[in-house]
Chain A
């Protein structure tokens, strides 16, 4: 079916063409298929009946990249291989638009990953592959769609590589509509129209002749191409046509969810933030390193203390360190609390070191020797032997009776109170700011048990 202009589906003032007559004719070589495909695209767009400003044509690099300037629609001429990414951005920004991507076989190689992901996402753009089996603009080099054995500028002895089946790739990865044909197919207009009408990702692999390079190099012809299509083992005609949710509209409807809250106080302090309401007698900057292990809730415990400091009118910073494999190994938090705004956030040698686990002791092994007089190390009693020579005073604590998830917070709270950093009330108020109630419950329990850490556990209850 080769539908010409004047379809009965036109809702608005019918345009006879979407081409710009003042810019024609096309600049392509005699016999090149590009002009055929652009004419077919024009007829399909006319039949679609949308006004020019509701259509965007995105072009890749290569001879096909010259195409957009012959249309009166919106146009975007971008980088080689990336046309699908711009088209995706345009479609996500304005889901109501008809977005068409024109790329060559070269673009299918350099941008192949984008094609796969566009098919996966089923973003509602139509990709027309101007597939003439080689790079035309740069001198007839082979592409990822060049047939095996073909002679090109870079395969003088014949292409040793197998071509990618771009249509099958799009189809198997979830595209809503995929077809393969040639530029000579009288049904090309109808296929393009089908693709444009598809609510989802559509791709047409359109085989055509590059009369500058591929035809002379391979004694190629329309007849040879049609024979190749029949014998290649690649499917032709419509490969898939199916219903799947289209990404742009799905995202747009997801946007109707509940508004997110502010992460920072607005200017003027109308929302968010922490209102200081406790007193602190801290007179100078103090630093604390909490050295524990994954699973001990080290970072959450440090945040409770930092927030308690802010609740007490102090400034606080918190830096965390842990391995990329987050559920194993050390977990370290470095805190600075100060009555003054904090500049340098580093803690090369803390005023207070709290060691709750062997993993933390290992990573901070060099700290004790750097700590000076007047500093203190609080160490889980069984790890006391791992603290090397130091001028800091070393005090053991006993967390055996506490669960692994409670020990770090209980000890940190006990240390904070003993060191005069913040009050127990401030710590409780900080825990109250925890939004997950089950976590808050665990934290409250840990706070209540904080004073037990200074006493050795009864032998009968000791975990061995």
Chain B
């Protein structure tokens, strides 16, 4: 049984390649640079294009242009770069651009700690563009999940024609990890639904609000219009309230309708356990260790690890919360997921958090102490 000894960055590159990614643009930033370096080595030999852009705004801009010309595009950066991506994330939502955005989180705000781990961007990627629309984000806790969830991010970006985040972190991306091959699970990636060449084409036409419009690439035989401004179904500017309303509700509805299918939570529930630990990303590794320790010590605890973080997997979390009286949320910020869990757990449950923002990982002992 061959094992891999790879970093999360290598796994993300492999996941992107296996997902059919054939366009990458990025700008150097620690700790996301290894992904840029990996893609510029990997893509040309496979007929793809990878380029270092002049800045982050150009990186995501080039990806958006390429995606609408039919490529499967990915970009990678860290928090400061996501700040610069922000307006174009809004464009990708509005113009319905399939795109994978890797955020390798580091300690912030601003330049913060370039080589320091954090999970401070959870709410940022959720609310990081103007207008307020749902976003899809997956969060890997190890190299194997980097591979699987990168493919899954592509699958949903293509299917929903929307930007999808891979919310990784410095530790998961830069630490070399041993991966059993049975954990390198591919995720099927189907291309976006294409326009029927036999019918008149309206680039943003949908029958039901939750439908995703059929795609015709820029440069293909069907002439198309991409529009970041409020547009009608033909892609022309509009201010007609009925059309504006329909567009804005559609952008939300297509994500919300898919939420149940996107939901990806690893539940390790012990019957009768009244304590639940909730975590994601690198902190989930410590949470798993803590659960092992606690159970060895005879404590009945359950664990929920979120692999999809947005839309919030409320259904799975609510199931995990059944019969639970205490919830401990472990994350490398001051309570961004805890805020969400508190809302779900309302009604007599005590919710506490294990949080660090000193650039160090949460230890399994800290989580075990919080439970005890």
Q: Interface residues of B: mostly helix, strand, loop or mixed?
A: mixed
A144 interfacial by beta-carbon distance below 8 Å: no
Neighbouring B residues of A66 by C-beta, 8 Å: 237
Q: Are B115 and A324 in contact (CB under 8 A)?
A: yes
User: Complex formed: what's the CA distance from A307 to B177 in Å?
Assistant: 10
Q: Are B13 and A344 in contact (CB under 8 A)?
A: no
User: Complex formed: what's the CA distance from A92 to B57 in Å?
Assistant: 17
User: Complex formed: what's the CA distance from A53 to B180 in Å?
Assistant: 48
Q: Are B2 and A69 in contact (CB under 8 A)?
A: no
A78 interfacial by beta-carbon distance below 8 Å: yes
User: Complex formed: what's the CA distance from A314 to B186 in Å?
Assistant: 24
Q: Chain A: how many interface residues by the 8 Å CB criterion?
A: 75
Q: Which of A86, A259, A306, A318 counts the most B-chain CB atoms under 10 A from its CB?
A: A86
Neighbouring A residues of B1 by C-beta, 8 Å: 269, 275-276
Which of A235-243, A250-258, A286-294 lies at the interface?
A250-258
Within 8 A of A (CB), among B1-38: 1-6, 10-11, 13-14, 18, 23, 25, 30, 38
Q: Are B225 and A75 in contact (CB under 8 A)?
A: yes
Contacting A255 at CB < 8 Å: which of B49, B66, B235? Answer: B49
Using known A-B contacts A74-B224, A344-B361, determine if residue A92 contacts B289 with beta carbons closer than 8 Å: no
User: Complex formed: what's the CA distance from A268 to B18 in Å?
Assistant: 14
B176 interfacial by beta-carbon distance below 8 Å: yes
Within 8 A of A (CB), among B145-175: 147, 171, 174-175
B123 interfacial by beta-carbon distance below 8 Å: no
Neighbouring B residues of A450 by C-beta, 8 Å: none
Which of B39-47, B240-248, B260-268, B344-352 lies at the interface?
B39-47
B140 interfacial by beta-carbon distance below 8 Å: no
Q: What's the nearest-Cβ distance from chain A to residue B216, in Å?
A: 9
Q: Are B48 and A255 in contact (CB under 8 A)?
A: yes
Neighbouring A residues of B227 by C-beta, 8 Å: 75-77
Contacting B68 at CB < 8 Å: which of A52, A76, A117? Answer: A76
Interface size class of B (residues with CB under 8 A): 35 or more
A273 interfacial by beta-carbon distance below 8 Å: yes
Using known A-B contacts A74-B225, A264-B10, A324-B114, determine if residue A92 contacts B51 with beta carbons closer than 8 Å: yes
Within 8 A of B (CB), among A101-137: 113-114, 116-117
Chain A 263-299, CB within 8 Å of chain B: the 1/0 string?
1111111001111100000000000000000000000
Neighbouring B residues of A306 by C-beta, 8 Å: 5, 176
B88 interfacial by beta-carbon distance below 8 Å: yes
Question: Nearest chain-A residue to B73 (Cβ)?
Answer: A89
Neighbouring A residues of B282 by C-beta, 8 Å: 345
A436 interfacial by beta-carbon distance below 8 Å: no
Using known A-B contacts A77-B228, A82-B57, A90-B65, determine if residue A53 contacts B223 with beta carbons closer than 8 Å: yes
Q: What's the nearest-Cβ distance from chain B to residue A372, in Å?
A: 14
Q: What's the nearest-Cβ distance from chain B to residue A116, in Å?
A: 8
Within 8 A of A (CB), among B180-216: 180-181, 184-186
User: Complex formed: what's the CA distance from A82 to B64 in Å?
Assistant: 11
B179 interfacial by beta-carbon distance below 8 Å: yes
User: Complex formed: what's the CA distance from A92 to B175 in Å?
Assistant: 33
A222 interfacial by beta-carbon distance below 8 Å: no
A-B contact pairs, 14 of them (CB 8 A): A74-B218, A79-B228, A82-B61, A82-B88, A86-B64, A116-B54, A251-B51, A260-B43, A260-B44, A263-B11, A318-B176, A341-B178, A343-B364, A345-B282
Given contact pairs A78-B64, A255-B46, A272-B4, a sample of 10 additional A-B residue pairs in the complex whose CB atoms are under 8 Å apart = A73-B223, A74-B225, A89-B65, A90-B219, A94-B218, A255-B45, A265-B3, A306-B5, A316-B5, A317-B175
Among all A-B residue pairs, the 8 with the closest Cβ atoms: A89-B65, A85-B61, A273-B2, A93-B69, A86-B65, A89-B62, A343-B289, A89-B66
